[in-house]
Amino acid sequence: MKCIIDRRAQFSASHRYWLPELTEAENAERFGLCARSPGHGHNYVLFASMEGELDEYGMVLNLSDVKQVIKREVTQQLDFSYLNQTWPEFQQTLPTTENMARVIWQRLAPHLPIVRIQLFEHPELWAEYEGNHMEAYLTISTHFSAAHRLALPHLTLEQNSEIYGKCARVNGHGHNYHLEVTIKGEMDDRTGMIADLVAFQKAVDEHVVEPFDHTFLNKDIAYFAQVVPTAENIAIHIRDLLEQPIRDIGASLHKVKLIESPNNSCEVYGASANTGVRVQQVAALASV
């Protein structure tokens, strides 16, 4: 039987987005604050996923051995380092989060049966790499607060209450929504970027966060005048709002994950992924 196991590791390092072939002004325009000298740092968190058959001891790999390999090949070399000068790969292609995930894969693949590298630059920005040449995934997380009411306009309060429970109450209720948006694309050979991170964040802010934040979705967002704003429908609408803006920055929208509460979340995929809708819930009703 095959299983996938994950191993977590961490390291602290600094880096700078700077291309010597550009002037100081051009670097500042392209990379913003990330171009400042001598650079800036992060506490990186790494998850290495490995796949294999269970052995007679019920293990895919001995995790003590895995720990030592990751330490020897990655964290011991990168911890408290200036990334641009630590590995030659980062002199050719900048140490962006997505490119770092790719290079870490390449460093570990000769020693471990890697199937995915996930690298967190901080809790609101992470990348995933699955061994597909220069293709990677980049995720940003953000949040907005909004109220909603779950009710079909052609049904009575009693009928809606049978379907939606307390969520049908006439004055609605609110959530602090947590939103994760994942894009997919080819990394640029020189910058190491799938897309401009500032443009990515701006697209999410302008098309979703600013219009949705501190609203009553049923009344303030035209789409929900006739569509019940369940977590599923909100996630689908966010996906539809972001498809074109993400294409405009040179990537494709891979996934939108909306976390309505610690108990409930919904994932919808972009047109290129074509994998439908996935709802995760602990409570009995997806929108409670």
Q: Which residues are catalytic?
A: 167, 214, 260
Look at the block and give the residue holding tokens 């490995």: 50
Structure tokens at 173: 């209720």
3-class SS of residue 234: helix
Beta-carbon contacts of 73 under 8 Å, excluding residues fewer than 6 positions away, are 107, 108, 111
Task: Say if CB 85 and CB 15 are below 8 A apart.
Answer: no
Rounded Cα distance between 281 and 89, Å, is 42
CB under 8 Å, gap of 24 or more: what pairs does 99-102 form?
Answer: 99/136, 99/187, 99/192, 99/193, 100/44, 100/127, 101/127, 101/128, 101/129, 101/136, 102/129, 102/134, 102/136, 102/187
Rounded Cα distance between 262 and 283, Å, is 10
Structure tokens at 101: 């995930």
Task: Say if CB 13 and CB 119 are below 8 A apart.
Answer: no
Rounded Cα distance between 187 and 129, Å, is 11
Would you give the distance in Å from CA 23 to the centre of its chain? 32
